[in-house]
Structure 1
Amino acid sequence: MENTSEQSNIVLGDVEIVRVVEWRGAFAPAAELVPGVGAEVWRENARWLSPEHVDAASGAAVMALQSWVLRSGGRTVLVDTAVGNGRERPGSPAFHQWQGDYLGALARAGVRPQDVDVVVNTHLHADHVGWNTRNAQDSGGDWEPTFPNATYLIPAADDFHFGPRGAYGGGRSVDDRLVYEDSVAPVHRAGQAVLWEGSHRIDEHLTLEPAPGHTPGSCVLRLASGGDRAVFVGDLLHSPVQIVEPSCNSCFCLDARQAAVSRRRILGRAADLGELVVPAHFGGAGAVEVRRAGTGDRFRLGRWAAYGR
């Protein structure tokens, strides 16, 4: 995986949204990433999926590792923190000992670590919490919070599942333990972690709410400012083909049935309320409007946001 970085922004109401891309490119075979989608669906949608979301030559999904910076109510809110440098990730070869220019990308967006007031982890997978911390060379190489002045908002259900009382303690995944120990536990030790459940209001424009299935604590961040609406859906969507096939999950979803329920609910509300849908990993424009297609839980894509490449 070749490292790249870029940033671009739009404004919704009184909230500025800055897209910070650490890496973008062909990631994995699209048909394996979302295995429930039939070959005919990929063929029928190939024209608009390529080249922004599927590489036609290889069949690989084009994806991004990225964060979203929200400037809202005088504060800086960072949504997800990418992969993190120098991490032991033996179960995820693409992320193992990753070295990227994430902090440089943030700096080019005008954000220094000390400027961040709130960090939102939509869930606790490795590519969403890595830059929660960084290696403190002056303290013997321990991990410390990257954003010293920030409150880290962490879904309680994920903290339990991935922490020592859940998957980590159950020994089901080496990476679960490593991710928690280097990217989550240090935030707890620093007293900067806030666990939430039910819902959590960040400010007058921003609210967190559960959307479980991908992980037990997966959540979405809703934005409402003036007449503008958006919903940051994390890994509820890995490919835009899941908008037209909302019952199909990614291969990374832990509870397939619940993930599909959450996806249909969030897409339905986005279509009804005119919320711009902002997924974590889309490789193209990064955000899209959703429309209902007939009756029931059928959807189609509307306009893409003006981020572009």
Structure 2
Amino acid sequence: MSTPPATDPTAIPSWTVGGITVHRIDEVLLPPATGAWLLPGATPGLVAEQDWLRPHFADDEGVLRLDSHSFAFTVGGLRVLVDTGIGNGKQRANPAWHDLDTDYLQRLTAAGFPPDSVDLVILTHLHADHVGWNTQQVNGEWVPTFPKARYLTSRTEREFWAGYDMEEARAQMFRDSVIPVEEAGLLDLLDVPARGADVAPGLRLLPTPGHTPGHIAVELTSHGRTALITGDCIHHPVQLAHPAIGACVDIDPQQSKTSRRTLLASLADTDTLVLGTHFAPPTAGHVVTHQGAYRLSPVPADSH
């Protein structure tokens, strides 16, 4: 199937964080039904109560808007990609993810990150919509898309799935998007303690478990400025207003809620730029205290 691009095909949105430029690499808009399935607690009525969600993050009927995209940047001398989306030509149970044909790699290249130039791929967790472009099909085989990169995820994450009784759809995802990277010797597992783990100067991984046991968020720091890439600790800005709303696929819903509350409290009323891994454009913003919880104050991207 041919899948339309998420936004203007010529625009590569980016944000400046000190001396770092963070590029959003669009893959695909997710179907309107995604929000109701993923965040069943975010009912249209509850969403409609939050005026600030419109028009960017929800429509007038309270239907959530979500995206699939990655973030690319250079920090500490490393060319880094955070999460790799759904991927092309993957056999997936979710119809919205099945057999995609997007221009993701062209967008990545247009942002200045051709696949063979990437040094590090950080995987916030090992779900199908975050690992898909780990590999691409060449002569009928799934091979690493970023042959010169190290792929990095938390040790807790990989070890959890190693011992998990996978249904066939998940096993297929590991066969085509995780195991080929391991067999190529490119996957590194990192212990991420409660205080976080430094990967390079200005690049830090923070444990945000719950959605999956080893889920991590990614923190960037440069010249006194900070940004945080959420991964799936926060799927949608509605969870700022209602942090107790979790995803239907959270492995540990209570832990997910705790991680989200802790993270939001640390971000509230600071100048940290929050970059949502599934947030629809404008995608980024600052967390502001609001009506006993929080809201997102959007920070529009520059396009180059």
Q: Shared fold (TM-score greater than 0.5)? A: yes
CA distance in 2, matches of 1:274, 1:154: 27
Does the alignment pair 1:226 with 2:220? no
Q: Is the 8 A contact 2:35 2:66 kept in 1?
A: no
CA–CA distance in 2 between the matches of 1:102 and 1:259?
29
Distance in 1 (alpha carbons) for counterparts of 2:275 and 2:186: 26
Partner of 2:143: 144
1:153–1:196 contact (8 Å) kept in structure 2: yes
Say if 2:94 is the partner of 1:72.
no
Give 1:13's match in structure 2, choosing from 15, 18, 31. 18
Residue 176 of structure 1 aligns to a residue in which SS?
Answer: helix
For residue 3 of structure 1, what is the aligned residue in structure 2?
Answer: 4
* Per-residue deviation, residues 26-48 of structure 1 (Å, max 9, x unmatched): 43253443222355422211x43
Match of 1:260 among 257, 266, 278: 257
Residues 25 and 88 of structure 1: CA distance in aligned 2, closer, same or farther (over 3 Å): closer
- TM-superposed CA distance for 1:272, in Å, is 5.6
Please list, as runs of the form range in 1=range in 2, the aligned pairs for 1:1-309 lying within 5 A after superposition. 2-4=3-5, 5=9, 6-24=11-29, 26-28=31-33, 30-45=35-50, 47-56=51-60, 59-89=62-92, 91-137=93-139, 141-163=140-162, 165-166=163-164, 170-171=165-166, 173-198=167-192, 199-271=196-268, 273-293=270-290, 298-301=293-296, 303-307=297-301
Distance 1:129 1:230, change over 3 A: same
Match for 1:176: what amino acid? Answer: R
- Distance in 2 between residues matched to 1:21 and 1:135, nearest whole Å: 20
How big is the shift at 1:60?
3.3
Which residues of structure 1 form unaligned runs of 5+? none
Aligned length: 295
Q: Is there any run of 5+ residues in structure 2 with no aligned partner, and where? A: none
TM-score w.r.t. structure 1 length?
A: 0.89
CA distance 1:306–1:197, change in 2 (3 Å): same
1:308, distance to aligned residue in structure 2 (A): 7.2
Checking the alignment, whether the CA contact within 8 Å between 1:34 and 1:248 is kept in structure 2 is yes
State the identity %: 36
Partner SS for 1:36:
coil
Give 3-state SS (helix, strand or coil) of 1:264's partner: helix
Question: How far 1:160 moved relative to its partner?
Answer: 2.0
